[in-house]
Amino acid sequence: MAEAKAAAEAKAAAEAKNKAAAEVKAAPAAKPSAPPVPVAQTTPAAPAAGPAASPPSPAPAAEVPAPAPKSVPAARAAPAPAAPASRPGVNNDIPVELSRQGANLKLSFPFPAPTAAAVFRRADTLWIVFDSKSALDLSALVDEPSNTVREAEFSRDGDAAIARIRLDHPHLSSIAPEGTGWSVTIGEAVADPTRALDITRNLVGQNRASVTVNFEHAHRLHRIRDPDVGDTLWVVTGFAPVRGFIDEHDLRSPRRRAS
């Protein structure tokens, strides 16, 4: 009985085994699974020690010294022209200033420095001669209200500055120093007396004579041509004190003029 039961169990186990093998055979073969992808091992980051370091800055470029500026020679400053002495007028001309002293006319010549002069009259023309390279501005005498001055003309003759003043008729005249300049007075009376000069006539032989005038500190001798008469005048200039001939005398040859 026991043997029969064991045989039955063995038979049942064999049938179950065969059935399982048949199921396995009927089932399709499963596709092989893909091999596992290896995972790269990640190295843990090292703990930061303080703030992240900034990338190193590039080394500063070596400074190239700027080329030294070429030494340019300083322009030599031209010496400032000497300032002319202060005086009115244009282009350093000497302006004649006109004023009245009673019935007389007064002409002032404001020279910036002492200037030698000479004054004399020929007929109705008054000559005023200065040792000056400056021109004389006679514009103040144009249309003179009293009509004493009819015409005034400036001219040069060598180093002499000459004012020729034509009057309405012959007048008395005088000259006087005024600062570094001169003033000339024209009228019917002499405003500034003149120190008289002595004149000596010397005979030299039967037909010759000479004249001597003691004029101390004479400055310059000018030969000036008279455009009206056409002759030549010898004019001597000087500084103050004022000296001259009081009266006109005809010595036949030469003739001295009142001055």
11-54 pLDDT, tens per residue? 766 676 666 555 544 444 444 444 444 444 444 444 444 444 44
**CA-based max dimension of the chain:** 222
The predicted-structure confidence for 204-251, as pLDDT tens digits, reads as follows: 877 888 888 888 889 999 999 999 999 999 999 999 999 988 776 666
For the chain, what's the residue count? Answer: 259
Instruction: Determine the Cα angle at 240 with ends 238 and 246, to 5°.
Output: 80
pLDDT in tens, 102-158: 889 999 999 999 999 999 999 999 999 999 999 999 999 999 999 999 999 999 999
Q: Which two tokens stand for residue 255?
A: 């003739």
Cα torsion angle, 156, 157, 162, 168, sign: negative
Domains of the chain: 94-192 (2.60.40.3500), 196-244 (no CATH)
Whether the model clears a pTM of 0.75, i.e. scores above it, the answer is no
Give the chain's count of helices (H) and strands (E): 1, 16
